[in-house]
Amino acid sequence: MQELRALIFDVDGTLADTERDGHRVAFNQAFAEARLDWHWSVERYGELLRVTGGKERIRQYLSEDHPEMLADPGIEERIRALHAAKTRHYVRLLEGGSIPLRPGVRRLLDQAEQAGIRLAIATTTTPENVTALLRATLGEDGPWRFEVISAGDVVPEKKPAPDIFTHALEALGLPPEAGLALEDSDNGVRAARGAGLAVVVTTNDYTRDQDFSGALAVLDGFGEPERPARVLAGPPRSGSVVVDVPTLRGWFAARTSG
């Protein structure tokens, strides 16, 4: 039986709640700066989150709300420029320190390192966003705690395609049977499962009602000793739990032997 050798973390929604008060705000700042009267409300952004990737999300919005603009020959360049401005705003927002890691993340990273489990990232978001978040929350060395950071346009197809997880596994030099993905969304679960990985889900306000079939366990967070997480689906044991390395190893072993 393969033992657990690596944890492969999603970023947005899993390491930190970045979407509503981070990415969404930065998109709106970029629109305002470009003198566009577009504004993505919390609710509208939830709908647009179905499409992963910021440039892809802008394109989706245009196809729904301003389809005539997509015929403009300069539209791809316009989207690229808007997205570059959004990244600038988002990084500045992170540097201000307003977005913390989700409860239990720091503890789990420390415990995994102590247990000799390798750490990696597989995310749809732009690489600069990942390093800015890790620096702002874990300090200057934050990004170096992850052996592999697979992010953004490094693969042609974003989640739910499995490509970004396959990219991370190849960089780690591990088969999928040796890794566990940590995700927050149905698109992420599909991507991880498509790459052959087991996956544990921690939900958030935007993803709570999604379909997580195929996940090993679904929880409302990683939990902390003083405030354990709630188990929402599988494993058989229910109730509350602090997700630590022995817990993950237990779920992982039950899956590979099952």
Which residues are the active-site residues? Answer: 10, 12
How many CB atoms lie under 10 A from the CB of residue 158? 20
Sign, CA torsion 167/171/174/178: negative
Residue 13 beta carbon to Mg ion: minimum distance, rounded to whole angstroms: 4
- From the list Mg ion, ligand XBP, none, pick the one residue 104 interacts with, judged by a Cβ distance below 5 to 8 Å according to partner type: none
Q: What are phi and psi of 121, to 5 degrees?
A: -130, 140
Residue 114 beta carbon to ligand XBP: minimum distance, rounded to whole angstroms: 26
Please, is 65 exposed, middle or buried when counting C-beta atoms within 10 Å of its C-beta (0-12, 13-18, 19+)? exposed
16 vs 93, which CB is nearer to Mg ion?
Answer: 16
Please, is 201 exposed, middle or buried when counting C-beta atoms within 10 Å of its C-beta (0-12, 13-18, 19+)? buried
Pick the binder of Mg ion from 184, 198, 212, 231 (CB under 5 A). Answer: 184
Alpha-carbon span 258 to 255, nearest angstrom: 5
From the list 10-18, 141-149, 197-205, 248-256, the region that binds Mg ion by CB under 5 A is 10-18
Residue 100 beta carbon to Mg ion: minimum distance, rounded to whole angstroms: 16
Alpha-carbon span 103 to 109, nearest angstrom: 12
- From the list Mg ion, ligand XBP, none, pick the one residue 54 interacts with, judged by a Cβ distance below 5 to 8 Å according to partner type: ligand XBP
Tokens 């995700």 belong to residue: 183
Binding site for ligand XBP (CB under 6 A): 10-13, 19, 23, 52-54, 86-87, 123-126, 129, 159, 185, 187-188
Q: Which residue is nearest to ligand XBP (CB)?
A: 54
160 vs 196, which CB is nearer to Mg ion?
Answer: 160
Residue 186 beta carbon to ligand XBP: minimum distance, rounded to whole angstroms: 9
Tell me the C-alpha to C-alpha distance, in Å, between residue 122 and each of 14, 42, 72.
11, 25, 33
> What's the token pair of residue 92?
């500045």
87 vs 123, which CB is nearer to Mg ion?
Answer: 123
Pick the binder of Mg ion from 7, 8, 9, 12 (CB under 5 A). Answer: 12
Q: Residue 16 in 3-state DSSP?
A: strand
19 part of the interface to Mg ion, by CB under 5 A: no
Pick the binder of Mg ion from 9, 10, 169, 248 (CB under 5 A). Answer: 10
Task: Name which of 186, 145, 146, 188 is nearest 164 in CA terms.
Answer: 188
Residue 116 beta carbon to ligand XBP: minimum distance, rounded to whole angstroms: 26
- Which chain residues interact with Mg ion by CB under 5 A? 10, 12-13, 184-185
